Structure 1
């Protein structure tokens, strides 16, 4: 039996375990043989024991969106399955044989005896568990970062694409207007030959400039009334096919009262031409303003990304405006609010001071909590996201609320556990809230959660005076 148990001496993790303990281990194990592709364990079934692979190799796989991804390989001499003092009796991955594999299996029923009587063996297996946790945590943290980066980059790309496309369209429209100027110069000179006519047009342009910059939205009813009024007036002046011209001025909120005085100086084709020219000039101005607005939006997004990633500063603590930090994270998720048609309520306390914090890490807190809230409202009609900040003695409280599906009471205590997630495979990694908890702890803060269907809130408490770590 000593000779047979020598198989276990080949395991690096067991090299310091006394021979008599390895003999006990070998005697208590059963032999499991797997063919290529056969499953050793999976998240769907409880582990049957501790697995000692002494021949062949196994693929460690994770499914995302129904697609199997190999994330590692277990070779001969490695140990997996249930390990002493672990609270989990299920694995978070699928393990398949890559070839013909032989495994020694220590049944779960023998774990208690091992812990009670075989200290060095237990110690060795606990060390294996620590290494496994370290590896899986590192992998999951990297995966979480890539997932978060993917979400943010998709949103930022979408948000930047809209104003960028608007700029392209606007530039094309202005180019068309500019190209028409040479041919208009002669006509404009002839029609505005008299000083009074020139003065009238200049004054009208100045009068209507305010209309161009007015961002007040005009209702469909108001626009219809303005269009009808201009159309009827132009028809009375002998103009035909006036609908398009009337629509152009109505869009700026200009009615017949704002144009009627032109008929005192222009009649017939002159009136029609001048109105079209003024309309084109106003449209060019509006397009230029739209380009300016879209460019500002791109600039704001870039600035939000810069602030969010804290690119221009070191990794030390900095004094941070919590409201700016929250709004930067919210801006990067704005595409999701729009897609889910979610309303946002901002209730910020005016007396919130700056706090000393790891800015980049704090941004991760808001991103995770807001993103989770949005996911919870995905199937909710009239979703509402609320963010409330208050000064409470020596602490600042930040509450993020949603009216989504809520967190069932039986799992509420588990949501901060590593790798626990209620999201479908490929959508959640189960470490977002663990990271949040860890970052808040680094800031000497705390977090509370309250949830019933239709009302879930995460409240973060951060001390105003933080001790340096």
Structure 2
């Protein structure tokens, strides 16, 4: 900054400024007489952040870039171009600057010290009125800027949350479609083995009845416990051995997933000739697998639609979505179906302890499904993939609440960060592995439900407890 001689046309420059339309020439001349004429070169700092403000500057020529530090980064807030009034104004409570000003080009400024403001009130009411109007506009502009910042922050949170939530169903669709494509490549051979068998029309009808009765009665996920599943596996394996089914271990998991028992297989065996039994069982397994993969794609697609609906509801806060009394197990089962590939991928065991007598709870179903997805996906991330990982999902009633526990035997949450895990964007995952929005979404969604979330964690046992009021 350096002081310059005042130009001879300074009065004409002030007269041309829109803010001084109602101010007389003699008052403008008084303003010129009490002021200093200073210049700044391009790139020079006009004022620093948090510096004391004791003067008013009228930019006569040039432009000033306004910027401030935010989260360790310099952020541009706008550009002030001539003619413009900056700095402290009459009746303003401004003490220090909230940003930094840098000259984008050579700037000429008329500078008036604030000690002249008292005399200004006596000299010209119109001048003071004009400057107060500028101050009012400035306050409005900063309020609009702050409101825009808040909207952008909210949009950023929504975008991060949506990206976080869409990842699981989108991955499920991709995985299931790839599996379906691979599976359909095997269909011609199995179809060939079927059409070469001499099976009567009545046998086909009986076979279809058994197959489609099982498909219709399928609830979306097997409710068998680990022990029950092992017992069913032994029963089916014995049945396969007794009927000379080769490689039965390759299809047994599909029949267990669809809750088939030896009695159902007896019905199939009774409907077809003995020599047709093995190819028929492989054909049934192919149909069940296809049905399951299509169901997974449908479930994941519906979840994406629910997420988009949730975002719409979030962005229109004045139109509240209505809560519907639902069985919470439905959402948990669909979530487990969607994440089933992750359980298989990491060789994680699942233990379900469901209280089937629980009453329905009024919920926003899409939002509650996001909660189950976040908690189960987080548990899958922390358990070891060596086959010893176990996730337990437990439902029960406690007084006037329906509670759901999501428990894992992973490494646990360090005690020093347990109080921070529900903060927005707080994450212990690496870049690209998480946004830190999952548990914040859980907390905010439960607040809308009038529910609560708590966590107890130690190495080998971490339990997130969700409580929803009846």
Which interval holds the TM-score relative to the shorter structure?
0.5 to 0.7
C-alpha spacing 1:150/1:2, structure 2 compared with 1 (3 Å): closer
Aligned counterpart, 2:190:
184
Structure 2 residues not aligned, in runs of 5+: 1-5, 324-362, 380-420, 428-435, 455-470
Query: May I ask how many residue pairs the two structures share in their alignment?
Result: 356
Aligned counterpart, 1:206:
212
Partner SS state of residue 322, structure 1: coil
After the TM superposition, which of the residue ranges 80-89 and 191-200 deviates more from structure 2? 191-200
Aligned counterpart, 1:244:
250
2:121 and 2:138 mapped to 1: Cα distance?
Answer: 19
Q: Per-residue deviation at 1:277?
A: 1.9
Partner SS state of residue 96, structure 1: strand
Aligned counterpart, 1:384:
443
Q: Is this contact kept in 2: 1:152–1:333, CA < 8 A?
A: no
Alignment of 1:321-340 (within 5 A): 322-324=320-322, 338=374
Partner SS state of residue 86, structure 2: strand
Partner SS state of residue 138, structure 2: helix
2:43 and 2:154 mapped to 1: Cα distance?
Answer: 32
Q: Is this contact kept in 2: 1:212–1:282, CA < 8 A?
A: no
Q: Is this contact kept in 2: 1:212–1:285, CA < 8 A?
A: no
2:278 and 2:373 mapped to 1: Cα distance?
Answer: 45
1:337 and 1:185 mapped to 2: Cα distance?
Answer: 38
Q: Is this contact kept in 1: 2:35–2:113, CA < 8 A?
A: yes
Aligned counterpart, 2:125:
119
Q: Is this contact kept in 2: 1:60–1:94, CA < 8 A?
A: yes
CA RMSD of aligned residues (A): 5.1
C-alpha spacing 1:216/1:261, structure 2 compared with 1 (3 Å): closer
Aligned counterpart, 1:297:
303
Aligned counterpart, 1:45:
51
Q: Deviations over 1:46-85 (max 9, x none)?
A: 4343222234321233566655554543233311122334
Structure 1 residues not aligned, in runs of 5+: 311-319, 343-372, 390-398, 404-469
Q: Per-residue deviation at 1:264?
A: 6.5
1:401 and 1:109 mapped to 2: Cα distance?
Answer: 57
Q: Per-residue deviation at 1:208?
A: 2.0
1:36 and 1:132 mapped to 2: Cα distance?
Answer: 25
Correspondence for 1:17 among 16, 23, 27: 23
Q: Does 1:193 align with 2:199?
A: yes
Partner SS state of residue 384, structure 1: helix
2:171 and 2:424 mapped to 1: Cα distance?
Answer: 32
C-alpha spacing 1:401/1:191, structure 2 compared with 1 (3 Å): closer
2:368 and 2:259 mapped to 1: Cα distance?
Answer: 34
Partner SS state of residue 284, structure 1: helix
Q: Does 1:226 align with 2:232?
A: yes
TM-score, normalisation: structure 1: 0.57
Correspondence for 1:74 among 80, 87, 99: 80
2:101 and 2:244 mapped to 1: Cα distance?
Answer: 84
Q: Per-residue deviation at 1:281?
A: 0.8
TM-score, normalisation: structure 2: 0.57
C-alpha spacing 1:302/1:107, structure 2 compared with 1 (3 Å): same
Partner SS state of residue 251, structure 2: helix
1:111 and 1:402 mapped to 2: Cα distance?
Answer: 57
Q: Is this contact kept in 1: 2:37–2:108, CA < 8 A?
A: yes
Q: Is this contact kept in 1: 2:222–2:257, CA < 8 A?
A: no
